[in-house]
Each structure stands twice: as structure tokens, then as C-alpha cells.
């Protein structure tokens, strides 16, 4: 093991004793955990070649990545609660993984929604009824925080 690795181990071992002297309250029982993902949403395609990627976390924080840039924001309580209810009502376990439009359709959006460890993909004209309100709310969040010019 290199000397750098030993120094890092020593620093990590000493951290609980150093924290009080740095003005940081030590709470050995507390653990910092990152919020988990509630839902991940992508929307690609269409006439303009859209590429949106949205993640909404369980603490209502969200991250949006688009061709024109990235942003982080908090989803308002009403929208977040509506989205959670819609996700529960969509019964993801009963949905197929892939819903494709009929051949010959053009300029469609393709959506991917990941919830509860399961991803469902659908194209515009083939979105199953239980997923339509979910995609509608996710689209609303993207539009409200879009950084498109």
C-alpha cells in the first residue's frame, strides 16, 4: 500500500475526533444518505430531434439535461404528489417493456420511464393508457424548467 493510501486511511480513522474541533457536530448514529430516484424519464426524437433526460428524486429535487444545457430545481409539492400517485396507479409491474408505433409513423417521440427498477419504453401513438398521465406530468415538469431558447 502506498504512503498516500496510508495517509488517507489515517485521516479517515481520525475524522471522528477531528470533527468537533472543526465546529462540526459529530453524531455517530446518523448516516448521510443521498435521496433515491423516484423516476427517470427520457424523451427523444420528434421533428426537432429532442433529447430530454429528467430525474426526479424522492426529496422533490430534480435534474434536467437537454441539448441546450442542464438545470437543477425542486418540483413543487402539488406536482410531485400528483406524479407519485400517477406512478403508483400505472402499475408498472403489469406493463410491457416496449410499446412501438405502427410501421410508417414518422417524427414521433420515444419515451422511457424508469420507476421501481423497471423501465417502460413507448412511442407517441403507442403509449398505454396507464402511462399517459405519468408522461403528461413529466412533460409538464420538463416544459416548466426547459432551457430551450
In a domain, 149, yes or no: no
Contact by Cβ (8 Å): 92, 99: no
Beta strand 118-123 pairing with 98-99: parallel
Domain count, the chain: 1
Q: What is the pLDDT of residues 80-99, one digit of tens each?
A: 999 999 999 999 999 999 99
Q: Is 126 helix (H, G, I), strand (E, B) or coil?
A: helix
pTM of the model: 0.75
Is 20 part of a structural domain of the chain?
no
CA angle (46, 50, 51) in 5-degree steps: 135
User: Does 70 fall in a domain?
Assistant: yes
Whether 74 is covered by a domain: the verdict is: yes
Assigned domain for 98 exists? yes
Which residue's entry shows cell 437543477?
72
For 56, the domain range is 35-144
Query: 3-class DSSP state for residue 53?
Result: strand
Paired residues of 63 in beta bridges: 55, 72
Q: Residue 8: inside a domain, yes or no? A: no
Residue 3 belongs to some domain of the structure: no
Evaluate whether residue 114 is within a structural domain: yes
Q: What is the mean pLDDT of residues 56-67?
A: 96
Q: Mind listing the pLDDT tens digit for each residue in 17-36?
A: 444 444 444 445 555 677 89
Amino acid at each position: 500500500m502506498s504512503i498516500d493510501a496510508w495517509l488517507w486511511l489515517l485521516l479517515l480513522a481520525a475524522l471522528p475526533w477531528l470533527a468537533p474541533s472543526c465546529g462540526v457536530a459529530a453524531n455517530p448514529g446518523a448516516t448521510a444518505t443521498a435521496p433515491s430516484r423516484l423516476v427517470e424519464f427520457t424523451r427523444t426524437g420528434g421533428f426537432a430531434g429532442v433529447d430530454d433526460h429528467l430525474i426526479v428524486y424522492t426529496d422533490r429535487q430534480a435534474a434536467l439535461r437537454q441539448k441546450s444545457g442542464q438545470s437543477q430545481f425542486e418540483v413543487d409539492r402539488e406536482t410531485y404528489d400528483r406524479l407519485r400517485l400517477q406512478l403508483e396507479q400505472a402499475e408498472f409491474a403489469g406493463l410491457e417493456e416496449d410499446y412501438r408505433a405502427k410501421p410508417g409513423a414518422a417524427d414521433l417521440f420515444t419515451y422511457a420511464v424508469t420507476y421501481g427498477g423497471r423501465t417502460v419504453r413507448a412511442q407517441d401513438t403507442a403509449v398505454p393508457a396507464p402511462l399517459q398521465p405519468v408522461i403528461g406530468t413529466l412533460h409538464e415538469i420538463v416544459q416548466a424548467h426547459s432551457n430551450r431558447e
